[in-house]
Amino acid sequence: MRTVDVNVLTQNIREMCIEANHFLSPDMKKAFTMAKQQEKAPLGRQILLQLQQNMEIAAQDMIPICQDTGMAVVFLEVGQDVHLVGGNVEDAVNEGVRQGYVDGYLRKSVVKDPIYRENTKDNTPAIIHYSIVPGDRVKITVAPKGFGSENMSRVFMLKPADGIEGVKNAILTAVKDAGPNACPPMVVGVGIGGTFEKCALMAKKALTRSVDEHSEIPYVRELEEELLQKINKSGIGPGGLGGSTTALAVNINTYPTHIAGLPVAVNICCHVNRHAVREI
C-alpha cells in the first residue's frame, strides 16, 4: 500500500490547469505541423499558419491559447494499492482547479446553477471522473473543455439494425452540423456502445488519447481512418473557410452494449484539444 497526500493532487492540478491553457500538447503540435504541410487550399494554409502563430505567442508570452479557458474536466485513474490521505479527494481536486484558474489569471466560466447563472468566480466545480485501476500510482488528466465545440456534441441512440453504416452517418452528421462553430480543424472523440451516459464518457475520454495513436481493435482503427478521410473531404476546412483539413484526428472508444441498442456519442473538440497528463 502506497500513501499519497491529497495536497499532491491539488498542487499538480493547479499546475496542469495553467499548463493546458498555455501550451499545446506534443501530439497536437505534431498534428498541426503535418496539417500545414498537407493542406491543399491556400486560404486553409494561411488559417493554419495564423493558428500556429497564435499558439506560439501564447506559449512565449504566457497568455491563454484561447479566451475560453474552458470548464475543467479531470480524469483520475487511481491505483487500487494507493491510500489517499489528508482530506477529501474531490475537495482537493477542486482546490487545484481554483488555484490554477485564479493564480493563472484564467477566465472563470462556471456558473453555480444552470438556470440562475451566477458565476462561481473560480471556475469550480470541476467535472471529475474516477476509475480504480491496478497498481500504486495515480494518473491525472486535466482537459479544459471550451463550450464552442462542446455545444456541437451529440448523442445518438441508434438501433442495432443501423449497424456500422448508421454509426458512420451519425458521426458525419454531427461534424457537418458543427461546421465552423467547433473552431476547426477539430478533434472528434467518439464513444460507441455501453449506455446513454457510458458512450458520452467514452467520447470525452477519447479526446485525451494522443492524436497519433489509433485503436488497437482492427475494425475500429479502419473506422477512424475512413472517417477522418471523409470528414476532410467535407470542405469545411480550417476556421470553416474551406480546405482539406477539417479534422486532425478521429479517436473512437467502444464498449459492450445491450442487444436492443447501439448508442453513439460524438464529442467534438476545437483545434487546440487541450489536455495535460501526469502520473504521481
Q: What is the pLDDT of residues 162-199, one digit of tens each?
A: 999 999 999 999 999 999 999 999 999 999 999 999 99
pLDDT reported for residue 58: 94
Which candidate, 153, 154, 156, places its Cα nearest to that of 263? 156
Report helix, strand or coil for 239. helix
Crossing angle between the packed helical segments 6-22 and 89-103, to the nearest 10 degrees = 40
Helix (H) or strand (E) holding 191: strand 186-194
pLDDT reported for residue 11: 98
pLDDT reported for residue 209: 96
CA distance 8 to 268: 31
Which candidate, 45, 41, 74, 31, places its Cα nearest to that of 228? 31
CA distance 117 to 58: 29
CA distance 76 to 138: 7
Q: Which domains does the chain have, with CATH numbers?
A: 2-21+65-145 (no CATH), 148-273 (3.30.1330)
In this prediction the pTM is: 0.96
CA distance 277 to 264: 26
pLDDT reported for residue 124: 98
Q: Which residue has the cell 503535418?
A: 34
Straight-line distance from the first to the last Cα atom of the chain, in angstroms, rounded to the nearest whole number: 14
Per-residue model confidence as pLDDT tens for the chain (280 residues): 999 999 999 999 999 999 999 999 999 999 989 998 999 899 999 999 999 999 999 999 999 999 999 999 999 999 999 999 999 999 999 999 999 999 999 999 999 999 999 999 999 999 999 999 999 999 999 999 999 999 999 999 999 999 999 999 999 999 999 999 999 999 999 999 999 999 999 999 999 999 999 999 999 999 999 999 999 999 999 999 999 999 999 999 999 999 999 999 999 999 999 999 999 9
Strand order in the sheet with 71-79: 127-133, 71-79, 138-145, 276-279
Cβ atoms 263, 158 nearer than 8 A? yes
Cβ atoms 121, 261 nearer than 8 A? no
Cβ atoms 236, 47 nearer than 8 A? no
Cβ atoms 68, 109 nearer than 8 A? yes
- φ, ψ of residue 52 to 5 degrees: the values are -65, -40
- φ, ψ of residue 73 to 5 degrees: the values are -105, 125
